[in-house]
Amino acid sequence: MSRSLAQKLAPAALPVLVVLAALMFERAFFNPVNLQNVSRQASFLLIVALGQLIVVIGRGLDLSVGAVITTTLLLLVEIAGRPGGSIVIALIAVVAAGLVIGILNGLMVGFRKVPAILATLAMFVLVEGVAVWVTEGRSKGRVPEIIKPLGVGKVGPVPIPVIIAVTAAVLCGILIHRSSYGRRLFASGANPDASHLSGVSVRTIQASTFVLASLFAVLAGLLLSGFVGFYDRTLGTGYDLDSIAAVVLGGASLAGGRGTVWGTAVAVLGLAALDNLLVLLGVDVSIKLILKAAVLFLAVVSAGWVGSTTFWTAGWRGKRTLATTTKGT
């Protein structure tokens, strides 16, 4: 097996392990309705993770995507969820909010050289603060009915969020793997100085990644709003870190310049399946957290092994050789 193929298949380790565990311990996992649920849950995270992937390839990190999701719900409820409210204005507002947040993140990170983790954390706090200020803690409307099919609807047996997420993944794949923008993105992330010297506008590329991530989060927010159907001020909580975990598990490097849509999608599927299986098994919450942490840790470590040049040049020469070479990497 070539190194390239192994790298592509490595993210599949988690979903494969989950499926094996489900075969052994909980066959209800394979219930078609449950698989629909898993795929729908995965689709929400996948959309967010696609945006995060673009940011990470560009050598960044976006901790504000969860806040964007919650803001999307908030604006929908406040603008379109009241009597006489307009869904068109609400949609314009959520896209505008996403753009503003993304542009501000991009300006801070790309042009002001504020570390991405600080800039987007600040944005997260700012957005949360503005949301509380605007609403005074209370939502004054309901999730508009017209949005709900986006989250709970199906085309045949396939949930609409899955169709949208797959479409988004394909478009994202074309953007980053098949376009000149993608080539400049990878180059900027891998070696910003060299890219700059070769004429790539690294700052603009990096700023654009945050705008794209924010817009993906808006899309996820729309679908999640339809799925929940209620105002839930913690709707986006956790999507920031989960999306980063998915991207890293999918083989992307936090040092930038590496990552694939395929790997991210498979990792997302694995995480969603793991969450689902743990609920099905009725695992105690403390054990659940420990298990998830262990799986993530092992997956990241093994991903590091798979990606390691030393590992592949050493090849399979027994445990001792493997241990030695791994230690040396």
**What token pair was written down for 120?**
């987007």
Residue 317 CB, shortest distance to other proteins, in Å, is 44
When binding is defined by CB under 8 A, the residue of 39, 43, 139, 260 that contacts other proteins is 139
**What token pair was written down for 244?**
């980063």
Q: Is 241 in the site for other proteins (CB under 8 A)?
A: no
When binding is defined by CB under 8 A, the residue of 1, 2, 24, 83 that contacts other proteins is 83
Q: Is 224 in the site for other proteins (CB under 8 A)?
A: yes
How far is residue 195's CA from residue 217's CA, in Å, rounded to a whole number? Answer: 28
Q: Is 155 in the site for other proteins (CB under 8 A)?
A: no
Nearest 5°: phi and psi at 254?
-70, -10
**What token pair was written down for 102?**
């993304």
Q: Name the segment binding other proteins (CB under 8 A); options: 48-56, 171-179, 201-209, 233-241.
A: 233-241
DSSP-based three-state secondary structure for 158: strand
When binding is defined by CB under 8 A, the residue of 47, 235, 244, 252 that contacts other proteins is 235
Beta pairing partners, 154: 159
- What separation in angstroms does the CA of 272 have from each of 186, 246, 290? 27, 10, 16
Q: Which is nearer to other proteins, 26 or 62 (CB)?
A: 26
Element (H, E) at 273: helix 261-281
DSSP-based three-state secondary structure for 159: strand
CB 81 within 8 A of CB 141: yes
**What token pair was written down for 62?**
């976006």
Q: Is 152 in the site for other proteins (CB under 8 A)?
A: yes
Q: Which is nearer to other proteins, 5 or 33 (CB)?
A: 33
Alpha carbon distance, N-terminus to C-terminus of the chain: 21
Q: Name the segment binding other proteins (CB under 8 A); options: 167-175, 188-196, 256-264, 281-289.
A: 281-289
> Which amino acid, one-letter code, is at 34?
N
Q: Is 24 in the site for other proteins (CB under 8 A)?
A: no
Helices 65-75, 116-135: axis angle to 10 degrees equals 20
* Local structure of residue 281 (DSSP, 8 states): H
Q: Is 128 in the site for other proteins (CB under 8 A)?
A: yes
Cβ neighbours of 2 (radius 10 Å): 8
Q: Is 282 in the site for other proteins (CB under 8 A)?
A: yes
When binding is defined by CB under 8 A, the residue of 280, 296, 314, 322 that contacts other proteins is 280
Pairing of strands 154-155, 158-159: antiparallel
Q: Which is nearer to other proteins, 153 or 182 (CB)?
A: 153
Residue 149 CB, shortest distance to other proteins, in Å, is 11
How far is residue 261's CA from residue 250's CA, in Å, rounded to a whole number? Answer: 8
When binding is defined by CB under 8 A, the residue of 6, 114, 122, 142 that contacts other proteins is 142
Q: Is 193 in the site for other proteins (CB under 8 A)?
A: no
Q: Is 34 in the site for other proteins (CB under 8 A)?
A: yes
Q: Which is nearer to other proteins, 4 or 234 (CB)?
A: 234
Q: Is 68 in the site for other proteins (CB under 8 A)?
A: no
When binding is defined by CB under 8 A, the residue of 141, 182, 304, 307 that contacts other proteins is 141
Which of 217, 134, 124 is CA-nearest to residue 168? 217
DSSP-based three-state secondary structure for 154: strand
Sign of CA dihedral 37, 38, 41, 46: negative
Q: Is 230 in the site for other proteins (CB under 8 A)?
A: yes
When binding is defined by CB under 8 A, the residue of 233, 291, 307, 308 that contacts other proteins is 233
Q: Name the segment binding other proteins (CB under 8 A); options: 105-113, 208-216, 282-290, 317-325.
A: 282-290
Provide the binding-site residues for other proteins, judged by CB under 8 A. Answer: 28, 31, 33-34, 37, 41, 82-83, 128, 132, 136-142, 152, 224, 227-235, 237, 276, 279-280, 282, 285-286
